[in-house]
Structure 1
């Protein structure tokens, strides 16, 4: 009888081990798939920024830049090289943050070059356009709300401010999500895009230039109800509780996701 009990314990233990391993492998596969989706989005951003850097050759043609202008120009070029090289080495979600950090910094430098060439004052350093970070540094804050939400101030570029002012839809950056086919607003794309968002906006977290409710929404999955929780526990398991970057956000977001559960409501 004792042998039978021991045998049952062994069988149960093996079944539990196999099941746990299978679940972990599934989570890791999901994590890799999600990372590839975000990596593809970051690659689009690197390409778009590379075109902006190339345009600086045209903007500065025949113009003698002063020392400040040359430094800004070099900074814009270096940022592109950094973003491109980092993208090539991406093998972890946190790596994506460094790609978009470089792009955000480079876009500001490129804008400074243009201001110098046009004889205008250097632009104030502001967060990227909320609707689409590819639009570059924002120009102003406007009140905006998603469908069914209530208005909140968001930083936007001049073109999107004009669109919203006349009742038109802003040019929202849409990214590929879970199934690899559906595109939705990047701030509604779930925790897989958290590091992508951090790179663009994390440096403004304590500046007062980015509303806290906005920062939280983009870091953890979207404005109330915008994310359906489909990334679920697989992403958290793949990352491990507490992993990931973003010191300004108080450590890794794995545990935050576990504590918050599948639904988020940031007041919108």
Structure 2
């Protein structure tokens, strides 16, 4: 009888481990989707914005003869738009957003090249997008910016935002929802880091923005990472406990 009871206990324990593991997986999947949803909306807005800019470019070029260079850059921008749409539709994790914003950045640069060629100007220097809102397009200069409660950084800015900062006005900052508050995207948490990486990862001076440092210091990112590890362990232990409880409900000792 004792041997039978021991076997039953071992089977119940094994079942509890399986149940706990599955419960932890479900919780992690739900958390991943919750992190992805707002980032997906953000990048979809960026894709839509590029589409609108392409329509405006098409209107501006209507009736103008285009050479081989203009046509090649214009096709590159169109291809980037289609590729970004496809990549955005296929997102399954926040880390994949980086690929979409890389494509968008390349598309906007191609559009800038088209406009420069048509105007008979030199091709623009490849610079990072405007820090305050990547949808503003290529930055034209760096400006010293001090956010509320933060430290001063030299950041790339479009002409309009650079002028706003110089005269002491607020730049046009891209904001995202975090809980019930709207905050600058660079304060949105680790889920938004791949979004920034795609736009700025190729430019060394911007690396500080997405390495857990942001403007306010380096411990915030570390704290979020440790919190995530703790949550994962707690989910697994909690699931195992639930499984053990379910498995032993039917036994009368």
Report the TM-score when normalising by structure 2. Answer: 0.79
The alignment covers a number of residue pairs equal to 228
**Residue in 1 that maps onto 2:184:** 185
Mapped to 2, the partners of 1:100 and 1:236 lie a distance apart of 29
Measured at CA, do residues 93 and 221 of structure 1 come closer, stay the same or move farther in structure 2, by a change above 3 Å? farther
Q: Which has the higher contact order (CA 8 A, sep 6+)?
A: 2
For 2:210, the equivalent position in structure 1 comes to: 218
Rate the CA distance shift 1:89–1:158 in 2: closer, same or farther, 3 A.
same
Residue of structure 2 equivalent to 1:203: 202
Do the aligned residues in 1 keep the contact of 2:35 with 2:94 (CA within 8 Å)?
no
Distance 1:36 1:87, change over 3 A: same
Matched with 1:29 is 30
Give the SS at the match of 2:142: strand
Give RMSD over aligned pairs.
2.8
Deviation at 1:149, TM superposition (A): 2.3
Report 1:42-53 matches (<5 A). 42-53=43-54
Cα deviation digits, residues 58-116 of structure 1 (max 9, x gap): 22122212211111111111111111111122223333222111110000111111122
Instruction: Tell me if the contact between 1:198 and 1:219 (Cα under 8 Å) persists in the aligned partners.
Output: no
Q: Secondary structure at the match of 2:155?
A: strand
- Residues 49 and 103 of structure 1 are in contact (CA less than 8 Å); yes or no, is this contact kept in structure 2? yes
Shift of residue 152, structure 1, vs aligned partner: 1.4
Q: CA 1:112 to 1:31, structure 2 compared with 1: closer, same or farther past 3 Å?
A: same
* Gapped regions of structure 2 (runs ≥ 5): 233-253
Unaligned runs of 5+ in 1: 206-210, 238-268
Q: Which has the higher helix share?
A: 2
The CA distance in 1 between the partners of 2:110 and 2:37, in whole Å, is: 29
**For residue 151 of structure 2, what is the aligned residue in structure 1?**
150
Distance in 2 separating the partners of 1:139 and 1:105: 16
Q: Please report how far the alpha carbon of residue 14 of structure 1 lies from its aligned counterpart in structure 2 after TM superposition.
A: 5.0
C-alpha spacing 1:219/1:135, structure 2 compared with 1 (3 Å): farther
C-alpha separation in 2, matches of 1:195 and 1:71: 29
Larger Rg: 2
Q: Whole-Å Cα distance in 1 between the matches of residues 103 and 96 of structure 2?
A: 11
Tell me, in whole angstroms, the C-alpha distance in 2 between the residues paired with 1:152 and 1:96: 25
Q: Is the 8 A contact 1:187 1:221 kept in 2?
A: no
SS class of match (1:137): coil
Checking the alignment, whether the CA contact within 8 Å between 2:43 and 2:101 is kept in structure 1 is: yes
Q: Residue 139 of structure 1 contacts residue 157 of structure 1 at CA under 8 Å; is this kept in 2? A: yes
* Structure 2 counterpart SS, 1:183: strand
Q: Could you tell me how far 1:40 is from its partner in structure 2?
A: 0.9
CA drift at 1:120: 2.3
The CA deviation string for residues 223-259 of structure 1, in whole angstroms up to 9 with x for no partner, is: 226968668417996xxxxxxxxxxxxxxxxxxxxxx
State the SS of the aligned residue for 2:202. helix
- Is the 8 Å Cα contact of residues 59 and 114 (structure 1) preserved in structure 2? no
